Amino acid sequence: AAAAPVDFDDAASFRVAKERAVAAWERGYVRELVRRHDGNLSRAARAARMDRNHLRELLRRHGVSITDE
């Protein structure tokens, strides 16, 4: 499979660019995960094989509200 296009910012270091890419991926992942489980965090966390508290932290970190999904 071909790699997804990257928004390249030549002013950003590799580390910063990687942090931005990971954050964008995480945000999309948790948003879709919660949507697929109708906002049920316990089911979503179980499906992702992560602790529910970690899922809550990711939602908070990325500003994702379960009511938005």
For 16-56, write each residue's pLDDT tens digit. Answer: 999 999 999 999 999 999 999 999 999 999 999 999 999 99
Q: pTM higher than 0.95 for the full model?
A: no
Q: What's phi and psi for 20, nearest 5 deg?
A: -65, -40
Given this model, what pLDDT does residue 2 score? 62
- Residue 39 CB burial class (10 angstroms; 0-12, 13-18, ≥19): middle
**Among 15, 66, 14, CA closest to 43:** 66
C-alpha 11/C-alpha 7 separation (Å) is 12
Given this model, what pLDDT does residue 3 score? 63
